[in-house]
């Protein structure tokens, strides 16, 4: 299973269209998506712990009633359930939207694709810099780099993720471009809302 997960991860980077089609033939595609997001959320929970240990505090006010000085400690524990819930909710919203137009697919058909579309862009633009760069830049409010860099660091993976959502919906539901584009927008909106509600 894990060898297959990492093989698909590479394919989703270099040839996402082909990877989308190949994943449709996997009997356990929803499980593959689940394990993909679980691995990513586990890695990100370690990042939250590192940020707490190095003295970082959230730059923006949080919705959850948790003190800033211990927020990343608590985020260590709720990142995994957050990741799974966000993955499932994103898939459900996209599936319900497309179910208006076709009933030939099940929710499990898109969940595998959502896992990769979610995890891959944010792995490169959040997990890597926040784990291997931020802890060495000093102990102050997060992010430790200029806001224009933070803006780019959020916009690029969001567009990348939306593009992968578009490709997945186009292939899985055989949707035309407008429905695929709307699906990508809805999926991205779900993640953005879940992110700003819980993560920092």
> Where does the pLDDT of residue 6 fall: very low under 50, low under 70, confident under 90, or very high at 90 and above?
confident
User: How many helices and strands in the chain, by DSSP H and E?
Assistant: 8, 2
Res 94 pLDDT > 70: yes
The length of the chain, given as a count of residues: 200
Domain holding 89, by residue range, is: 2-198
Tell me how far apart the alpha carbons of residues 180 and 45 are, in angstroms, rounded to a whole number: 31
In the predicted structure, residue 78 carries a pLDDT above the cut 90: yes
* Residue partners of 194: CB distance under 8 A and separation at least 6: 82, 85, 86, 89
Give this prediction's pTM. Answer: 0.92
The pair of three-digit structure tokens given for residue 13, joined into one six-digit string: 């980077």
For residue 58, the surrounding DSSP H or E stretch is strand 57-58
- Name residue, tokens 């082909």: 18
In tens, the pLDDT along 10-22 reads: 999 999 999 999 9
When divided into structural domains, the chain yields a total of 1
**DSSP one-letter code for 125:** I
């Amino acid at each position: 299973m894990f060898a297959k997960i990492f093989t698909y991860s590479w394919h989703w980077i270099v040839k996402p269209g082909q990877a989308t089609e190949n994943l449709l033939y996997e009997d356990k595609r929803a499980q593959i998506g689940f394990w993909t997001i679980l691995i990513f959320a586990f890695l990100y929970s370690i990042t939250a712990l590192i940020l707490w240990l190095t003295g970082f505090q959230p730059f923006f006010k949080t919705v959850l009633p948790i003190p800033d000085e211990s927020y990343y400690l608590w985020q260590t524990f709720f990142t995994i359930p957050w990741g799974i819930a966000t993955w499932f909710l994103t898939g459900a919203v996209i599936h319900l939207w497309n179910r208006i137009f076709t009933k030939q697919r099940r929710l499990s058909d898109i969940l595998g694709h959502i896992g990769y579309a979610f995890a891959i862009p944010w792995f490169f633009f959040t997990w890597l810099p926040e784990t291997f760069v931020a802890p060495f830049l000093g102990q102050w409010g997060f992010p430790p780099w200029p806001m224009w860099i933070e803006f780019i660091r959020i916009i690029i993976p969001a567009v990348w993720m939306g593009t992968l959502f578009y490709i997945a919906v186009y292939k899985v539901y055989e949707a035309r471009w407008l429905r695929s584009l709307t699906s990508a927008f809805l999926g991205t909106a779900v993640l953005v809302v879940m992110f700003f509600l819980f993560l920092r």
